[in-house]
Amino acid sequence: MRFTQFLFPNGRKKPNDIVMPEETERLAGELQGAGYSFEIEVFPDTQVVSMDCCDLEGQLASEACPNGPDVPVAVEKLVRRAHQRWKQEGGKPSSSPCRTAGEEFYEMHVRAHSIDPGELD
């Protein structure tokens, strides 16, 4: 499944793929097809991995764990919690999708983290 990873120190983004069990990949695909995105950041000073499933309006679910073997377990929890919440809310397409980490989403993330886009070149 595909995550958008935001890199320190300036918030550059890059695609990051993780291979998960078939059922997890299927659930994630349903969420992504509905316009939700999976994001991940690794905080270098603490080696904590923060991940979420969101659209431009907010998060469906989030997880955090130490960087290492706990990451796939946290991804599994994230996908299942996000999918469950999405279904509870009606399973409809996002009203503010951020498909494939588009530029509009990227710019929102840059603004939210007070990053000067000029630093990203």
pLDDT for position 9:
83
Label residue 58 left, alpha or beta by phi (over 0 means left) and psi (-120 to 50 means alpha). Answer: left
What pTM does this model have? 0.79
pLDDT for position 120:
42
Evaluate if residue 101 carries a pLDDT over 80: no
pLDDT digits (tens, 9 = 90+) for 82-97: 999 999 999 998 888 7
Position 57 confidence tier, pLDDT thresholds 50, 70, 90:
confident
Sheet order of strands, 2-7 included? 12-17, 2-7, 37-43, 48-55, 58-66
Average pLDDT over residues 37-54: 94
Average pLDDT over residues 107-114: 48
pLDDT for position 105:
46
pLDDT for position 121:
38
